[in-house]
Amino acid sequence: MRHIISFEDISPDEWARLYGLTLDIIARPGDYARSCAGRVMAALFYEPSTRTNFSFQAAMQRLGGGVIGFSDPSVTSASKGETMRDTMIMVSGYSDSIVMRHPCAGAAKAASLYSSCPVINAGDGGHFHPTQTLTDLAAITRLRGGLRGMSVGICGDLKYGRTVHSLITALARFEDVTLHLISPRQLACPKYLRVFMQQRKMRFYEVTNLEAALGSLDVLYMTRIQRERFDDPKEYDRLKGVYVLTARKLSLAKGDLLILHPLPRVDEINPDVDGDPRAKYFFQAETGMYARMALLLELTALPKLTPERDYTETGRLCRNPGCITFREDYLPFLEENGRCVYCDYSLKGD
């Protein structure tokens, strides 16, 4: 475990260790209050955030470490035209871990090429958000002991929802999980994930009707429609409000359903659901801080490395305009199995 770009960077054994550590931190927080003393975490937020940024900052402070960073890139040298490469070389010299959120898919991968300390992807465009998945799995495991045999519904914007993408990759590890992917057709999950689910022989159903699926679910993971990722605002207007979970609809659901949401919510969970004992999204958010403490504890203790940094073959390869290679054009060509290594977009034109 070094850079955490996708959930795949955390092996099953590492996940088990992180979860054990999370529980121990929850049980005995005082024992960890100085565990990261003298360490520095950089929080580089090129895109808005509340939970992720604050929970990482709170996590580091509860471990006795320090935090540097920004939540508005317009106040940094990026606004003067500094490359991400230079920012990463410099910031990784100042810190022991970098938590980074960026509007471009593949940004965290690109940053990791130049960083001498671990880079944690706190959301790269509509691509991945692995520490939200750490949060999600930790919350479910705390509440139900694990995911084996569960029926998991993921509802909303499966096209642009990066938390959804990371969660799907993680669920491949658990035995006998059935996925109900509930979205309008226009917001169905990306092809690379469908291929991933097929290759991993995951059991999944793509459907459009929430009410029809509700009764069979053990977990319902609601998500907001990601307005900021739409090229056409009219398309967003057509799709917003497509799913709204209400207390009335919940009468169709199992008595021990877990209702989760990465938050922020817009209107997809009516506040009349909040008082229902099945609503666990605020518990989920709190669990995330402890899971991030466990992750920081492991990663900030790693020795510094000097990455290669001087790549010869540079220039854009990807055709996804949301890919980081469109913004940082010195990045090296990197492809794997016909896909862009930064954003996972197919390079074959399919």
Beta strands in 103-177, from DSSP E residues, in sequence order: 119-124, 151-155
**Residue 165 in the binding site for ligand NCD (CB under 6 A):** no
Task: Return d(Cα 292, Cα 79) in angstroms, integer.
Answer: 29
Interface segment toward ligand NCD; rule CB under 6 A; list 14-22, 181-189, 197-205, 257-265:
257-265
Looking at residue 268, its amino acid is E
Please give the residue whose beta carbon sits closest to ligand NCD in the complex.
Answer: 262
Q: Tell me the sheet residues that pair with 181.
A: 154, 206
Residue 159 or 162 having the CB closest to ligand NCD = 162
Phi/psi of residue 222, nearest 5 degrees: -85, 150
Interface segment toward ligand NCD; rule CB under 6 A; list 91-99, 196-204, 242-250, 258-266:
258-266
Task: Return d(Cα 348, Cα 350) in angstroms, integer.
Answer: 6
Instruction: Tell me which of 103, 106, 123, 130 binds ligand NCD, using CB under 6 A.
Output: 123
Contact string 216-255 vs ligand NCD (x = CB under 6 A): -------xx-------------------------------
Contact string 179-218 vs ligand NCD (x = CB under 6 A): ----------------------------------------
Interface segment toward ligand NCD; rule CB under 6 A; list 65-73, 102-110, 259-267, 320-328:
259-267
Buried b (16+ CB within 10 A) or exposed e, 180-202: bbbbbeebbbbebbbebbeeeeb
Q: Radius of gyration over alpha carbons of the chain, in Å?
A: 20
Catalytic residues: 51-52, 80, 101, 129
Buried b (16+ CB within 10 A) or exposed e, 27-42: eeeeebeebbeebbbb
**Residue 132 in the binding site for ligand NCD (CB under 6 A):** yes
Task: Return d(Cα 264, Cα 305) in angstroms, integer.
Answer: 36
Residues in the chain: 350
Task: Return d(Cα 3, Cα 15) in angstroms, integer.
Answer: 14
DSSP class of residue 213 equals H
Instruction: Tell me which of 52, 57, 112, 133 binds ligand NCD, using CB under 6 A.
Output: 52
Instruction: Tell me which of 51, 229, 240, 278 binds ligand NCD, using CB under 6 A.
Output: 51
Interface segment toward ligand NCD; rule CB under 6 A; list 65-73, 79-87, 111-119, 260-268:
260-268
**Residue 142 in the binding site for ligand NCD (CB under 6 A):** no
The least distance separating ligand NCD from the CB of residue 80, rounded to whole angstroms, comes to: 26
Tell which residue, 49, 44, 42, has the closest CA to residue 65. 42
Task: Return d(Cα 338, Cα 323) in angstroms, integer.
Answer: 15
Residue 229 or 316 having the CB closest to ligand NCD = 229
Return residues touching ligand NCD (CB under 6 A).
51-52, 123, 129, 132, 162-163, 223-224, 262-264
